[in-house]
């Protein structure tokens, strides 16, 4: 919670009674949002966590994740305190995870034109650009609206993420998708309408545009190395390597010829044109084929059922090791058996 004193009370009053508990994280809010939350009525148990130093939206969410997971939570939903997230959609976020169909769900305000009627035009454009960059960096080509913070996640998957270096500021939601992709977790979009009223946004699109682009480029490179070189080596790896080599060779030859030809007005021969154009064409085709492979390589099998099964097996193994095995029965000689 950060500068949400005008709305946090309304959010807590709307929490449905089937929720087992609420964790409010006061991220060193100068308006002391935690104090308001502590006295606001709520239908379920509410715990207030306070940061002595502001850690950003990501730091606050990770603190809430860590606390909820330690208390035995099964599914954790992240809701902002500015009342922009309609809690009537909470069940739709939880259901795919509870049914074992997804590991992480998130809101998508771009599913229909009617859902973005209340969204400012600058946010529509910014989210569209960020969504495209996020597809490259995370590998989730069927997801959209990566900055949507209305999310739910399996607590067992949270345990796998807590040891990772996830961005703590505004890049948190996009970085979460990258780390979920590295785990091969299943992410599902939940269509829901945009909701804007008199809330103040701390997000400045102009300030984050360039940093977000650099972060996405970094994650895209890390994802390619991790997914297509370290953990696997497949046809897409060859297509990218050969495609980049051909594209670079064709462009390099064409540019060098353009600046080194003896007669500026002379037209290049057909052979020279082919030496420059053919590698470029082949390189682009190989890169498009690799892109198509990556689009089809989106995770399809949720990982949290397997992780829970592994935990159960580990518990059984530890339980068996604590019990002494019965002493073996000594073998009887044939004469003793006859007697």
| pLDDT tens, residue by residue, 310-327 | 888 888 877 766 655 455
Q: Output the pLDDT for position 327.
A: 56
Span between the terminal Cα atoms of the chain, in Å:
82
> What is the C-alpha separation between 337 and 214, in angstroms, rounded?
81
Q: Output the pLDDT for position 183.
A: 94
Please report, for residues 103, 220, 233, 293, 298, the alpha-carbon distance to residue 224 in angstroms, rounded to integers and kept in the order given: 22, 6, 10, 12, 14
Q: Output the pLDDT for position 334.
A: 44
What would the pLDDT profile of 21-67 be if each residue is shown by its tens digit?
A: 999 999 888 888 888 888 888 888 999 999 999 998 999 999 999 99
| CATH H superfamily, domain 8-219 | Spore Coat Polysaccharide Biosynthesis Protein SpsA; Chain A (3.90.550.10)
The token duo for 34 is 């935690």
Q: Output the pLDDT for position 313.
A: 86
Q: Are the beta carbons of 2 and 202 closer than 8 angstroms?
A: yes
Q: Output the pLDDT for position 322.
A: 61
Q: Output the pLDDT for position 264.
A: 58
pTM assigned to the model: 0.84
Q: Output the pLDDT for position 263.
A: 64
Q: CA torsion sign, 165 to 171 to 174 to 176?
A: positive
> What is the C-alpha separation between 77 and 3, in angstroms, rounded?
20
> What is the C-alpha separation between 151 and 102, in angstroms, rounded?
12
* pLDDT by position in tens, the chain (length 339): 778 888 888 899 999 999 999 999 998 888 888 888 888 888 889 999 999 999 989 999 999 999 999 999 999 999 998 888 889 999 999 999 999 999 999 999 887 777 666 677 777 777 788 889 999 999 999 999 888 889 999 999 999 999 899 988 888 999 999 999 999 999 999 998 876 655 555 556 667 778 888 999 999 999 999 999 998 899 999 999 999 999 999 999 888 888 877 665 567 778 888 988 999 999 999 999 999 999 999 999 999 999 989 888 888 877 766 655 455 555 544 444 444
User: In sequence order, what are the beta bridge partners of 81?
Assistant: none
Helix axes 270-296, 235-260, angle to 10 degrees: 150
Mean pLDDT over each residue of the chain, to the nearest integer: 86
- The domain limits of the chain are 8-219, 233-296
């Amino acid at each position: 919670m950060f500068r949400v004193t005008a709305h946090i009370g309304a959010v807590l009053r709307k929490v449905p009674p089937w929720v087992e508990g609420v964790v409010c994280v006061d991220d060193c809010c100068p308006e002391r949002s935690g104090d308001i939350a502590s006295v606001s009525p709520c239908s379920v148990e509410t715990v207030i966590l306070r940061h002595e130093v502001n850690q950003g939206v990501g730091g606050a969410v990770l603190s809430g994740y860590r606390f909820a997971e330690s208390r035995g939570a099964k599914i954790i939903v992240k809701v902002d305190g500015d009342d922009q997230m309609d809690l009537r959609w909470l069940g739709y976020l939880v259901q795919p995870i509870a049914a074992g169909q997804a590991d992480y769900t998130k809101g998508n305000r771009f599913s229909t034109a009617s859902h973005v009627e209340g969204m400012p035009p600058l946010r529509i454009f910014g989210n569209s650009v960020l969504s495209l960059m996020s597809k490259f960096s995370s590998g989730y080509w069927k997801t959209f609206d990566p900055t949507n913070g209305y999310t739910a996640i399996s607590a067992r998957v949270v345990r796998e993420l807590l040891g990772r270096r996830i961005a703590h500021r505004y890049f948190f939601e996009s970085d979460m998708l990258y780390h979920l992709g590295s785990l091969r977790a299943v992410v599902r979009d939940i269509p829901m309408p945009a909701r804007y009223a008199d809330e103040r946004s701390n997000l400045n699109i102009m300030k984050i545009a360039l940093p977000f682009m650099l972060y996405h480029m970094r994650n895209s490179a890390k994802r390619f190395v991790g997914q297509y070189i370290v953990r696997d080596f497949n046809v897409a790896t060859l297509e990218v390597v050969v495609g980049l080599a051909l594209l670079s060779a064709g462009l390099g030859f064409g540019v060098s010829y353009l600046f080194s030809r003896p007669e500026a007005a002379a037209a290049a021969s057909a052979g020279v044109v082919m030496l420059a154009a053919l590698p470029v064409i082949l390189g682009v085709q190989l890169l498009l084929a690799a892109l198509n492979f990556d689009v089809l390589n989106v995770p399809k099998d949720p990982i949290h059922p397997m992780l829970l099964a592994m935990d159960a097996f580990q518990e059984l193994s530890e339980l068996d090791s604590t019990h002494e095995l019965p002493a073996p029965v000594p073998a009887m000689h044939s004469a003793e058996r006859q007697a």
